[in-house]
Amino acid sequence: SAVISQKPSRDICQRGTSLTIQCQVDSQVTMMFWYRQQPGQSLTLIATANQGSEATYESGFVIDKFPISRPNLTFSTLTVSNMSPEDSSIYLCSVETGGGYTFGSGTRLTVV
Amino acid sequence: GQQVMQIPQYQHVQEGEDFTTYCNSSTTLSNIQWYKQRPGGHPVFLIQLVKSGEVKKQKRLTFQFGEAKKNSSLHITATQTTDVGTYFCADMEYGNKLVFGAGTILRVKS
């Protein structure tokens, strides 16, 4: 299965600022997925990132708030823009790997 | 999109007791996947079920997919402290998107 390096692992940010999260995969993948996991909750899909095209966002998530880049088949970034305390969550990237999905280790974001 | 309901929300068992978590859908599932997330960790893939009535085992874990492909269960026999974590079922939707159930938190008393 693929190995994903996600960073940063955690950050504490001031409200109104932005944070960019990076995921590097050790193999080429067509689709990368970005999830949010609010404290004590399940995972919610934010968007699907395909190389060479704009990301596809799920209901309730918009590009202005969560811009995504996918410059090649092994890398993607998610930016959390103009942060508020409600954005405090764990953000995870994921790729499909032969029947199951592999997740990055997550970015624990706290907005103060 | 499709919703997968998962119960119970939380279970606290004595070490050695069995544990089961259930997922249910009002519509037919294409396939169902199960993940385990340890406290402070990220979800780790356990298994995928595709066929109606399918049963798969991994050591003390038994996974079942209902005949109508509308429900699934994960059963752990004789729990150990290493089984602690949150267990999620997830349905794969169009576009290879995973939709997760709410998860069942398992705590094991030694």
- Residue A26 DSSP class: S
Q: Which pLDDT score, from 0 to 100, does residue B94 have?
A: 83
Q: What is the mean pLDDT of chain B?
A: 96
Nearest to A42 among B41, B42, B103 (CB): B103
- Rounded to whole angstroms, how far apart are CA atoms A54 and A63? 9
Query: Confidence class of residue B24 from pLDDT cuts 50, 70 and 90?
Result: very high
A2 within some domain: no
Does B96 sit within 8 Å of A96, measured CB to CB? yes
Question: Is the separation of the CB atoms in A80 and A19 below 8 Å?
Answer: yes
**A 78-97: CB under 8 A from B:** 92, 94, 96
Identify the domain containing residue A87 by its residue range: 8-111
Judge whether residue B81 has pLDDT over 80.
yes
| Residues of chain B neighbouring A58 (CB-CB closer than 8 A) | 97
Per residue in A74-109, pLDDT tens? 999 999 999 999 999 999 999 998 879 999 999 999
Q: Distance, in angstroms, between A47 CA and closest chain B CA?
A: 9
Position B2 scores a pLDDT of 62
Query: Over pLDDT 70: what percentage of chain A?
Result: 100
Q: pLDDT at residue B77 above 90?
A: yes
- The residue among B65 and B92 whose pLDDT is bigger is B65
Better-predicted residue by pLDDT, A35 or B92:
A35
Contact call for B96 and A99, based on CB within 8 A: no
Number of domains present in the structure of chain A: 1
Confirm or reject contact between B100 and chain A (CB < 8 A): yes
- Looking up residue A48, the CATH number of its domain turns out to be 2.60.40.10
Q: Which domain holds residue B65?
A: 5-109
Q: Which of residues 29-68 of A touch B (CB under 8 A)?
A: 31, 33, 41-45, 48, 56, 58
Domain count, chain B: 1
CB A23 within 8 A of CB A104: yes
Buried residues in B3-30 as b, exposed as e (16+ CB within 10 A): ebebeeeebeeeeeeebbbbbbbeeebe
Q: Is A1 a domain residue? A: no
Name the band, by pLDDT with cuts 50, 70 and 90, for residue A25: very high
How do B85-93 and B71-76 pair as beta strands?
unpaired
Residue A62: inside a domain, yes or no? yes
CB contact at 8 A, A95 and A32: yes
Q: How far does A96 lie from chain B, in Å, by closest CA? A: 8
**Is residue A3 a part of any domain in this protein?**
no
Question: CATH no. for residue B85?
Answer: 2.60.40.10
Residue B1 clears pLDDT 60, i.e. is over it:
no
Residue of chain A whose Cα is closest to the Cα of B46 = A100
- The amino acid occupying position A66 is F
- Asked whether residue A36 is assigned to any structural domain, the reply reads yes
Specify the range with the lowest mean pLDDT, choosing from A47-56, A102-111, B39-48, B57-66: A47-56
State what percent of residues in chain B have pLDDT above 70: 98
pLDDT at B96 over 90: no
Distance (Å) from the alpha carbon of A59 to chain B's nearest alpha carbon? 10
